[in-house]
């Protein structure tokens, strides 16, 4: 076990490079008790989710979208957070931040959740109402207001599925490209089937200068493309499964607000996982306070941006004062889902900003930013509940094709099967992520070794300081 990690005045010095490979590979193959307990709990939640899904499918079928509001909410939550999580590594690697090395692989591993998102999206393809009004009345539109109208073939169902699937594929490619050096290292120390699997995944990687240059360029190009495509797919989900189901909801702020909430919650999730690995996962030698301290500043900025976008949306509808705008505010903010919005606002802004991230002593700890991350996750979940449960139950039948939301519908609360579905979605995501950590090291071997080579402790007068070299 590596024991050379040194904590010096909040700065973490990595273990020696020659000790990193064997230690991290052994940890990847190990099955400690906390890990087995987490797998068991996630498995139980997944079984409950399957029971809830089967009961909902048998009891309600797929003919109407209303009963599936909570299923859509948990899919959107997993997609919003899991889809944006790989950007944490991509963004901080682009800025050449030294402190980001322990969290890079933690965030990249969430690409495997994209495969789960593709499977969860399949039932939603059959739930989205038709663009054409099946029985148009005199006072309704014949075509539901959507992004697509009727021009593209297969729109919007197959185009949305193509976007979700391609984003998942792109995330897996980024994960594979980043983890290839680690799998090549594991190939040398593994035996049996593991050696064959790592040999297949690592391919012809031998760590030549040309291969490292190609990996660096590939991660930069794919990272930029992943960011652009994620924003586009977020736009599709927010509009097709949110705004288009609420008559008269026309808003240019909500799609970027949806994406920004994903950025905030995904960074919070990475900090939570990093905290768990540091406190109970046995990775204290590799994970210091610096990643939490530095990332908390970014999380603070995202939290302020979240509040600004919320204000930009609300002020437009508040001063517009059209009947449909008043009804939408009452439905999503004041009356029907007023309590959910209050929880959303408190956990997404008030608690992380005023209660945690505003205070430097909290930011300089490992638990403070992680607690703010938990708060951001709860707030993002509340957002998905009020938006997508509300959207799926805003109008049925011919009212779905009306010009405006004429009345304020009541809130829809979950029954036991919908609670099972929500818990099952969370359990499935956790189980997929935990399984991935048994194949790919949860702490990047090559980035840790690189960081160890770029730093040393030196003495100036009577103090000892960490000296960092810049590779370029």
HSE (CB half, 13 Å, CA atoms) of 452?
21
**Beta strands 463-468; 455-460: pairing state:** antiparallel
HSE (CB half, 13 Å, CA atoms) of 195?
5
Its pTM surpasses 0.75: yes
Closest CA to 174 of 233, 231, 112, 131: 112
pLDDT tens, per residue, the chain with 472 residues: 343 444 444 445 555 555 777 888 888 888 888 899 999 999 999 999 999 999 999 999 998 999 999 999 999 999 999 999 999 999 998 888 888 899 999 999 999 999 999 999 999 998 988 888 777 766 667 778 888 766 667 778 889 999 999 999 999 999 999 999 999 888 887 778 888 888 898 888 988 999 999 999 999 999 999 999 999 999 999 999 999 999 989 888 999 999 999 999 999 999 999 999 999 988 888 898 989 999 999 999 999 999 999 999 889 888 888 899 999 999 999 999 999 999 999 999 999 999 999 999 999 999 999 999 999 999 999 999 999 999 999 988 778 888 888 889 999 999 999 999 999 999 999 999 999 999 999 999 888 888 878 877 788 887 887 777 776 6
Q: Count the neighbouring beta carbons within 10 Å of the beta carbon of residue 320.
A: 12
Dist CA 68 CA 388 (whole Å): 10
- Is residue 193 a contact partner of residue 451, using CB atoms and an 8 Å limit? no
- Is residue 205 a contact partner of residue 180, using CB atoms and an 8 Å limit? yes
Rg over alpha carbons for the chain, rounded to the nearest Å, is 24
So where are the chain's domains?
64-405
Q: Cis link prior to 376 (omega < 30° from 0)? A: no
HSE (CB half, 13 Å, CA atoms) of 84?
24
Closest CA to 348 of 412, 292, 303: 303
Dist CA 76 CA 150 (whole Å): 25
Q: For Cα atoms 357, 299, 373, give the angle at the middle one, nearest 5 degrees.
A: 75
Closest CA to 20 of 266, 184, 267, 185: 185
Closest CA to 102 of 442, 457, 464: 442
Helices (H), 389-415: 390-392
Cross-strand bridge partners of residue 12: 7
Encode burial over 453-466: b for 16+ CB neighbours within 10 A, e otherwise.
eebeeeeeeeeeeb
């Amino acid at each position: 076990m590596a024991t050379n990690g040194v904590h010096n005045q909040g700065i973490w010095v990595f273990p020696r490079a020659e000790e990193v490979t064997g230690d991290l590979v052994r940890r990847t193959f190990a099955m400690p008790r906390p890990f087995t307990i987490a797998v068991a709990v996630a498995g139980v939640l997944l079984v409950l989710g399957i029971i809830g899904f089967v009961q909902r499918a048998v009891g309600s079928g797929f003919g109407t979208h209303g009963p599936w509001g909570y299923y859509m909410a948990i899919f959107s939550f997993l997609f919003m957070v899991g889809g944006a999580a790989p950007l944490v590594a991509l963004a901080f690697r682009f800025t050449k931040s030294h402190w980001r090395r322990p969290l890079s692989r933690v965030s990249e591993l969430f690409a495997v959740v994209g495969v789960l998102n593709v499977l969860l999206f399949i039932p939603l393809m059959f739930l989205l109402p038709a663009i054409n009004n099946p029985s148009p009345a005199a006072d309704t539109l014949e075509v539901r207001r959507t992004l697509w109208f009727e021009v593209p073939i297969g729109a919007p169902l197959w185009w949305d599925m193509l976007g979700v699937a391609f984003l998942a594929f792109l995330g897996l490619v980024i994960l594979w490209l980043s983890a290839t050096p680690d799998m090549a290292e594991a190939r040398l120390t593994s035996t049996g089937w593991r050696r064959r699997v790592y040999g297949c995944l690592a391919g012809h990687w031998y760590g030549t200068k040309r291969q490292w240059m190609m990996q660096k360029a590939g991660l930069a190009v794919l990272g930029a493309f992943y960011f652009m495509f994620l924003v586009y797919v977020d736009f599709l989900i927010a509009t097709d499964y949110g705004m288009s189901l609420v008559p008269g909801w026309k808003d240019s702020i909500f799609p970027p607000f949806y994406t920004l909430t994903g950025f905030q919650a995904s960074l919070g999730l990475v900090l939570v996982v990093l905290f768990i690995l540091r406190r109970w996962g046995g990775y204290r030698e590799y994970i210091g306070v610096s990643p939490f301290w530095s990332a908390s500043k970014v999380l603070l900025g995202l939290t302020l941006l979240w509040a600004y976008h919320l204000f930009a949306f609300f002020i437009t509808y508040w001063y517009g004062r059209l009947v449909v705008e008043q009804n939408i505010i009452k439905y999503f903010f004041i009356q029907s889902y007023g309590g959910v919005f209050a929880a959303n606002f408190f956990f997404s802004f008030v608690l992380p900003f005023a209660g945690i991230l505003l205070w430097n002593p909290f930011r300089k700890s490992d638990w403070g930013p992680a607690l703010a991350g938990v708060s951001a996750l709860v707030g993002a979940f509340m957002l998905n509940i009020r938006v997508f449960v509300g959207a799926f139950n805003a109008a049925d039948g011919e009212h779905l094709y009306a010009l405006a939301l004429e009345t304020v519908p009541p809130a829809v609360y979950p029954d036991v099967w919908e609670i099972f579905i929500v818990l099952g979605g969370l359990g499935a995501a956790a189980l997929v992520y935990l399984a991935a950590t048994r194949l790919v090291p949860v702490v990047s071997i090559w980035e840790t070794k690189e960081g160890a080579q770029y730093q040393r402790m030196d003495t100036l007068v009577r103090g000892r300081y960490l000296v960092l070299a810049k590779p370029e």
